[in-house]
Structure 1
Amino acid sequence: MTRATIEAYYAAFNAGDANGMLACLTDDIEHRVNEGGVRRGKELFAEFCSHMGVSYREQLKDMVIFANDEGTRGAAEFVVHGEYLMTDPGLPEARGQTYILPAGAFFDLRDGKISRVTTFYNLRDWIAQVSA
């Protein structure tokens, strides 16, 4: 079930379906983003998805998903293929730049839903790509 939940979460991501992603989460989701703070709860996660949908267009490819036998922990490794659409405050100016960025995420799951997602990527690599 752990792998299936993570697969459904990322299928919704690739489809641009924020509601599908939210359906995979517990109400008290803890969302930790690379070089950022912690968001708690579905409302803050939905706000993040809305912001990301305006600033970026991304597809995750070459996905590999791992899960423990207990179904409580998981991880995913993938490559982000993206386009930078609208300038994100504090980051370089957006001009429709494209980027390809290795990334990964770690998950806690409870009752078949994701209760924590922590995402990692190399921000310096991304900045170099969109600044070129």
Structure 2
Amino acid sequence: MSDPQQHSLATIRRYYDAFNAGDIAGMIDCLSDDFVHDVNEGDRRMGKDAFGTFCAHMSETYKETLTDMVVFASVDGTRGAAEFVVNGQYLKTDPGLPEAHGQTYVLPAGGFFTLKDGLITRVTTYYNLQEWIRQVSQ
């Protein structure tokens, strides 16, 4: 793909398609070796290994599918964003958060990306943690 904007759009879509399929390896295939992950209300993770560990924890704790996906990319393909709805189920208590007992939640969220050479070098995810807590505490 020679159009950098279209290439970045395709990479971001592939990343989220892998997420929805529960394919951690597929997500990691979209990442550069110097990848950085900034998660809402959490610590920065550096590298693919740290990201894989995070994803494995998330898979045990939450079951999520993203819908209503809209993906954007800059003309030069170096920046991107996605807006979506998280449709989830809280499976296992995450330390410091309310106790899990299978609660479901629906939450708007988004991700911001930096890309280089067709791979994601950074993703930052945002959502309203207080709204999530409200939903799972009912």
Q: Which residue of 1 aligns with 2:93?
A: 87
Q: Structure 1 regions of 5+ residues with no counterpart?
A: none
Q: Which residue of 2 aligns with 1:29?
A: 35
TM-score (norm 1): 0.99
Task: Give me the whole-angstrom Cα distance separating, in 2, the residues matched to 1:97 and 1:21.
Answer: 26
Residue 121 of structure 1: CA displacement?
A: 0.1
CA-based RMSD of the aligned residues comes to: 0.3
Query: For residue 38 of structure 1, what is the amino acid of its counterpart?
Result: R
Task: Give me the whole-angstrom Cα distance separating, in 1, the residues matched to 2:34 and 2:65.
Answer: 26
Q: Does 1:115 align with 2:121?
A: yes
Query: For residue 111 of structure 1, what is the amino acid of its counterpart?
Result: D
Task: Give me the whole-angstrom Cα distance separating, in 1, the residues matched to 2:66 and 2:42.
Answer: 21
Query: For residue 16 of structure 1, what is the amino acid of its counterpart?
Result: G
Q: Structure 2 regions of 5+ residues with no counterpart?
A: 1-6
Task: Give me the whole-angstrom Cα distance separating, in 2, the residues matched to 1:102 and 1:81.
Answer: 9
State the secondary structure of the residue aligned to 2:18: helix
TM-score (norm 2): 0.95
Q: Which residue of 1 aligns with 2:56?
A: 50
Q: Does 1:17 align with 2:23?
A: yes
Q: Does 1:73 align with 2:56?
A: no
Task: Give me the whole-angstrom Cα distance separating, in 2, the residues matched to 1:118 and 1:77.
Answer: 12
Task: Give me the whole-angstrom Cα distance separating, in 1, the residues matched to 2:19 and 2:26.
Answer: 8
Query: For residue 120 of structure 2, what is the amino acid of its counterpart?
Result: I
